[in-house]
Structure 1
């Protein structure tokens, strides 16, 4: 007597059997072509998508990744401007912001100021550096409250905005220091939202990856967030034009090792965004 388990299939089930058999054979064929080393690499990549072990740390990642020789703090501002007000907004920014940048009594410097060209439209982006970290930030904020010209500037500016947000950032130790440069250039701000617990891993990979992108001095600065949206990374690049950007990025793929670093950093990312930005006339980064 035969025993076993039986299931009742729908009447049209036989239509799907050849397709299932074909897919199964195709899977076996593809796996047979994969070497053992590639299988281990694939398994590791897949595992990284679903399993994220956060190693125990004895120090904050900011202390492990940031520059030790400096204590600079950066502030990145995003202002979404009413479309009809963008020209007036740029005008008052170019009148007031350089005065703060040039005043030696303020321990801060305007690193760059831009309008987004491709990406979110009618947007202004400002990057400030505070020499001396959080105490310098507090000192600047207190002084600006007493600066009547700046108070009036903020009132006028705020009437032109739809929304605004900012982040406080530290600088990766292995990136270039962002210094003034002559133009004309376009700038790309690539922003990455990382999976929580992966900042150290990101830093370890990019400490090696950055050497593939420094031949043409396009690397301007690399930062990670401390306050605001957390586990955010920002890479700032400068190019002569969009075609130069395309050529430089394509050339990186011909350098041995670049593709592997990209391969292992992709699973660390939750979201990413690219902005192409044009500097204002008064921006130190031209």
Structure 2
């Protein structure tokens, strides 16, 4: 996989001081790679991304005594976006964390690429959607948004069965390691797919950079434990875990449940 990704880089004349910079050095975040700049990073994103859609990952940290009110306001706001045909926004999932950072909600929105997001944002100011969004704010402690794209080998897809729990795994990568991460997971994902199919995977492009998310669904925590243990028995999985752990600064695992209006539930 890595070999054919490398072959896609266009050949072009470069100054002699940069001629010795290899793609391998870029992957590992070497000193020389950092000097190449953002242009190569953008090339990496084009190589690993599916490119068809753009996803907004919105994170709301809610005041503990305002959770019930927030849920009602969030339903009004996000279903309003979904139901407005002019915005062309789809909801990929709306969740509440129950293990991990408490009173935190994750909303994943799907836009028709960057131009679709531009069009939607132009229509929202002064509309009922802006008023509905303002109604959320009194219940929030903080909020953050990332724009992310899907990995080409893990397009977002609905779960095969309803119910259960969702696990969101978040990885803060070392700068310059996105391609190596993608290549390692592309090889290792088949070991996990023998037991559970991922719901989606994204990497950030705007907001907190070098961040990767994987979303999984399980019937319950016991099944999650058993499936993860069985994956270790498959060739290639241990190597994937070992390599990817070396590429990440931090790793988080959140157990979430879908909100009543979430399409994933």
Query: Do Structure 1 and Structure 2 share a fold, with TM-score over 0.5?
Result: yes
Alpha-carbon distance in structure 1 between the residues aligned to 2:45 and 2:241? 23
Alpha-carbon distance in structure 1 between the residues aligned to 2:160 and 2:96? 17
1:89 aligns with 2:70: yes
1:257 aligns with 2:236: yes
Classify the secondary structure of the residue corresponding to 1:145: coil
1:19 maps to what in 2? none
- The change in CA–CA distance for 1:59 and 1:87 in structure 2 (over 3 A counts) is closer
Alpha-carbon distance in structure 1 between the residues aligned to 2:131 and 2:41? 46
CA radius of gyration, larger in: 1
Deviation at 1:179, TM superposition (A): 2.8
User: What is the aligned-residue RMSD (CA, Å)?
Assistant: 2.0
**Unaligned runs of at least 5 residues, structure 2:** 1-24
Of 109, 114, 122, the residue aligned with 1:134 is 114
What is the number of residues matched between the two proteins? Answer: 233
- The change in CA–CA distance for 1:58 and 1:282 in structure 2 (over 3 A counts) is closer
Q: Which structure 2 residues correspond to residues 83-232 of structure 1 after superposition, within 5 A?
A: 83-131=64-112, 133-148=113-128, 150-179=129-158, 182-232=161-211
Q: Normalising by the residue count of structure 1, what TM-score does the alignment of the two structures yield?
A: 0.77
Classify the secondary structure of the residue corresponding to 1:77: strand
Classify the secondary structure of the residue corresponding to 2:169: strand
Q: Normalising by the residue count of structure 2, what TM-score does the alignment of the two structures yield?
A: 0.82
**Unaligned runs of at least 5 residues, structure 1:** 1-47
Deviation at 1:99, TM superposition (A): 2.8
Alpha-carbon distance in structure 1 between the residues aligned to 2:133 and 2:29? 44
